[in-house]
Amino acid sequence: MLSDQAFPSQPVSGGSWHSTTLRIVTVYAAIFSVSVMLLLVLVERSVTFVMDRETDAVLHWQLIYFDTTPADSLADAVRRRSEHERMHPNFYGLFTADGRHVAGDILVRPPGVPVNRVGITLEDKLALGGNETAPVVRIMAAQRANGDTLVIARDLTHVLRIRETMITALIGGGVLCLSAGVIAGLALSVRQVRRLKAIRRVTQRIAQRGDLGQRLPTGGRDEIDMLAQLVNHMLAEVERLMNEVKGTCDGIAHDLRTPLGHIRTSLLHIDERTAELPDRELKKLVNDARRDTDALLERFRAMLRISEIGSLQRRGGFEEIQLAPLLTEIGELFEPLAESRSIRVLTQIASVGTTHADRALIFEALTNLLDNAVKFTPDGGTVRLELTRTPLGPQIDVTDSGPGIPADERKAVLQRFYRSDQTRHLPGSGLGLSIVSAVMNVHDYSMQISDANPGTRVTIQCWTKTLT
């Protein structure tokens, strides 16, 4: 039997489904956020570099100006410039070689400031005169020929404020653009999800009902619409081919039933006329011919029945049914046949509530399964019919103690007319399990065939496997 093979569709793993558009928007949002962060770093570094370069140029020209001032008048020049720059962003300081303050509003020579006319940035480390606070400054120093050190600093507060304003504007604009993009992406995602739900509803009808006349909705003029049109074209071709094959097969089966019926009737008349003749060989030949004709008729009836079930015209008979009394009835139906061969039919029926199904089709499928189980179970064996409740729904198990089905034949036994070498000597058309498979297909149930050690176990899971 089938090693956990499902009919007609494989179970779908649990978990929620997500729109591809939503995933793209999420990735886009992440990339956009990282890009904005990198842009902010680039802007901050660029603004800082330009700010330092421009400030260093101003400080350098200031030092050049003081280079033209004689040493004996440099202190006065620094004092005048400090008083003149009281409302301006520049600070000055003149110090002797031993660090003593000579002039200017910078009272203490900042430690670590090189005297090679290279600018550095200091934060809250500049000691100023009066009540002035020490701002963030760009500072540059130069050593005079007499050993004195001239220090010039420039306030960067207004420049930093401009930089912070730019960064704030970039952050605000980035958040605004990101929000707008995410909202637009979510709107597109909702639209795509609606389209996909419509497509899913159609595919469910095709999968559950076999209605190949259904077509996927189109109109988006995008990749999904292109795929839907290709699938619709494929469905049209499949529908045409299926109708042609089905019509041919049904026509052959139907047309051959009539002459076979006539042949059977003729053989019956021949048997009646030869009943009084002493030719036993003739009677045997007539009986063999009748038996073979009956077998052919049975096969054609089974083929037409499979075709009828496969056409899914019986879904109108679906209703809420009770499986427990149905299985009890089937078990009682086969008890006389089993008792004639000393086979025990054991039933274990649990209360599982109602199930949405076609009672006549389920009855037909289970009688085929139980008929196979009794047929292939040796005299004195056991057949079990069980109904259990699972978290997903009712489950039916039919188990026999017969020869079993090899693992490599468990898929083949569901094909029409297949007979295993172990059971080829037993009567039958080889279509019983094909009928069961067709019924499972109509209900969208799954059927699993496994080893019962000894014998075979057929498990029917009475819940739909189609995407929901």
Whether the pLDDT of residue 223 is over 70: the answer is yes
- Asked if the structure places residue 260 within a domain, the reply is yes
SS3 154: strand
Q: In this structure, are 441 and 381 located in the same domain? A: yes
Instruction: State percent of the chain over pLDDT 90.
Output: 3
- Asked if the structure places residue 11 within a domain, the reply is no
Amino acid residing at 210: G
Q: In this structure, are 151 and 245 located in the same domain? A: no
Dihedral sign from CA coordinates of 12, 14, 17, 23: negative
Residue 83 is part of which domain span?
69-155
What is the count of structural domains for the chain?
3
Confidence of residue 362 (pLDDT cuts 50, 70, 90): confident
List of residues 6+ apart from 101 with CB closer than 8 A: 93, 94, 95, 107, 108, 109
Amino acid residing at 400: D
Please write the tens of the pLDDT for every residue from 378-422: 888 899 999 999 888 899 999 998 888 777 776 766 665 555 555
* Per-residue pLDDT at 2: 36
Q: In this structure, are 100 and 228 located in the same domain? A: no
Lowest mean pLDDT, pick from 11-25, 26-40, 311-325: 11-25
Pairing of strands 136-143, 382-389: unpaired
Q: In this structure, are 278 and 245 located in the same domain? A: yes
- Asked if the structure places residue 6 within a domain, the reply is no
How would you class 369 by CB atoms within 10 Å of its CB: exposed for 0-12, middle for 13-18, buried for 19 or more? buried
Q: How far apart are CA 113 and CA 56, in angstroms?
A: 14
Starting at the edge strand found earlier in the chain, the sheet holding 382-389 runs 344-349, 382-389, 394-400, 456-461, 446-451
- The CATH number for 248's domain is 1.10.287
- Asked if the structure places residue 28 within a domain, the reply is no
Please write the tens of the pLDDT for every residue from 153-179: 888 888 788 878 888 888 888 788 878
Whether the pLDDT of residue 468 is over 60: the answer is no
Q: How far apart are CA 394 and CA 352, in angstroms?
A: 6
Please write the tens of the pLDDT for every residue from 319-347: 888 888 999 998 888 888 888 888 898 98
Q: In this structure, are 128 and 247 located in the same domain? A: no
Q: What is the mean pLDDT of the chain?
A: 77
Q: In this structure, are 288 and 354 located in the same domain? A: no
Q: How far is CA 273 from the centre of its chain?
A: 71
- Asked if the structure places residue 167 within a domain, the reply is no
- Asked if the structure places residue 417 within a domain, the reply is yes
Residue 166: half-sphere exposure toward Cβ, Cα within 13 Å? 16
* Per-residue pLDDT at 462: 86
Q: How far apart are CA 139 and CA 89, in angstroms?
A: 12
Confidence of residue 12 (pLDDT cuts 50, 70, 90): very low
Q: In this structure, are 255 and 286 located in the same domain? A: yes
